Chain A
Amino acid sequence: LAKTTQPISMDSYEGQEVNITCSHNNIATNDYITWYQQFPSQGPRFIIQGYKTKVTNEVASLFIPADRKSSTLSLPRVSLSDTAVYYCLVGPHSGGYQKVTFGTGTKLQVIP
């Protein structure tokens, strides 16, 4: 399983763009990169997933360089409700079975 490394915590003011980078140097060819958001006492919520280049949805963008050894989650114009822990996951794919390991995550604190 690919190990991921993220900053433990980040602070940002409301309205700013936040970029959280994740390192995954030993990512495998079939691995996908997935980001989740978790609020206290809740299960993780899927944000975005990608394999290479750039992926964008209604809440975030995911940038993945050509070597795929890192990825960056970009949250545009954060609000107080974006205060949460963000996890970067890299998972193997084999016959549809995907087992992943959660890293430490990044605790994002949005400041008024």
Chain B
Amino acid sequence: GAVVSQHPSWVICKSGTSVKIECRSLDFQATTMFWYRQFPKQSLMLMATSNEGSKATYEQGVEKDKFLINHASLTLSTLTVTSAHPEDSSFYICSARVGAGRGDGDQPQHFGDGTRLSIL
């Protein structure tokens, strides 16, 4: 159980293109999803927290107009990298957590397999 699916797994596109990445919780509902970015040989960096039905909360230094997040349902969050440039090339990973405020605070995050984004 607790499977998170991320799509696409790999995308290459030209500079200036907008790219959408989907994150789905397949067998559970996720009120909260998280988006991370990881550069080679570095740790994961939290970009934003996505809450179903409300605006995402961005970490300091992350441009909200650059990285658009939509969490339209309890099983789907999307990250759109707008007008992508080579410096946006990275490994993007989403995670989702089971439950919210129902006494299940000890549930861990479950991660997708990531999306490798390469901007030419």
Taking beta carbons and an 8 Å cutoff, which residues of A are in contact with B?
30, 32, 34, 36, 41-46, 49, 51, 87, 93, 95-105
Contact = CB atoms under 8 A, between A and B. Distances in A.
B46 A44 contact: no
A46 B98 CA distance: 13
Interface of A is mostly: loop
B49 interface: yes
A97 B105 CA distance: 8
Interface string B76-120: 000000000000000101110101111011111111111010000
A7 B114 CA distance: 25
Contacts of A46: 108-111
B43 interface: yes
B32 A97 contact: yes
B108 A103 contact: no
